[in-house]
Amino acid sequence: MRKTPSELLEHLNGSVTTTCRLLKFILKNGNVFGMTLHDKNVVYKGVTYYAINGFDPSNVATDTGLSVDNSEVKALLSVDIPGITTQMVEAGELDDCEWEMMLVNWADTSMGHILIDAGDVGEVSVVDDMVYMPELLSVAMRLRQNIGQVWSRSCRAIFGLIPADQQLGCGINADALWQAGTVTGIGDEPRRIFADSTLTGISPEPVPGRLQWLTGNNASSRVYQIEAYGTATGTIGLLEPCAFAIVNGDTFRIRVDCDKQPYTCKNVWNNWLNYKGESLIPVGDGIAVLTPGAQVPGGFVGSEVIE
């Protein structure tokens, strides 16, 4: 049952209504923007919902039973929204943001609103200089995810997550590990490989490691994974390419990450008590777990070794 303000409920029971739907997005950095199905902009609780954009709410469905809601709304945002640019999307600023869909009386927004649905934004891309969101997933979609832990030999904690008593808490203060850097050279892959001649001889080496751009076209809250590091030259290779080409002068910050192995946790980070893995799980014999009759070097499983 949805909570409906009394004034808005009375308006909905009338013979003529002046309602419209509002769609609000909340970014990870706290910024908020919205759009409406009305033919003109609507201002509600300090947020301007722009009518120049559009979204398709026809796929929103809620069951009164125990089934999971179906809410895969499609949205198309023009670049005319203040504070939203295609560059932000390419840099990952809209990744993992949240959304809310509301019903209001555009003629008198003081009546309040009905929350129709809410959830997380899935894939975000740029199509013809417009932001395209084909997946606005309902909060109820989380019910389809497995809840609980699985066993693993490697650590399941998120490195740097504090406090350690959380399910994925690590306890190490990763903020103290960040080092500042500035691009001084570009590699053959200008969106992935670059160098900072001042960052030589980092110990421990930042592989695995994390990097975040602070200035330049790629500046955002997104954190990239480091795949390779050249100790002598300060060359850095990212696992995934950036949205835009890296140029000299771009600033970033870099830190080492954890490889999730028992030795590293115990001897490098002195954090063995917070290791969230089962390192003593026996490992099966590779040959013993193969399908009978499968070919192995020197013969077959279940047969005598062929010399």
Give which of 263, 261, 254 is closest to 228, Cα–Cα.
254
**Domain 174-257 coded CATH 2.40.30:** yes
- CA geometry: angle 31, 49, 24, nearest 5 deg: 50
Q: What is the pTM of this model?
A: 0.63
Alpha-carbon torsion, ordered 82, 35, 52, 132, to 10 deg: 80
What tokens does 203 get? 């110990």
Going residue by residue through the chain, which has 307 residues, state the pLDDT in tens, using 9 for 90 and above.
678 899 999 999 999 999 999 989 888 778 888 888 898 999 999 999 988 766 766 555 555 444 445 455 666 666 666 667 777 777 777 777 888 989 999 999 999 999 988 888 877 877 777 777 767 777 766 666 666 667 888 999 999 998 888 888 999 999 999 999 999 999 999 999 999 999 998 888 899 999 999 999 998 888 999 999 999 999 999 999 998 999 999 999 999 999 999 999 999 999 999 999 998 888 766 555 555 555 555 554 444 443 3
List where CATH 2.40.30 sits in the chain. 174-257
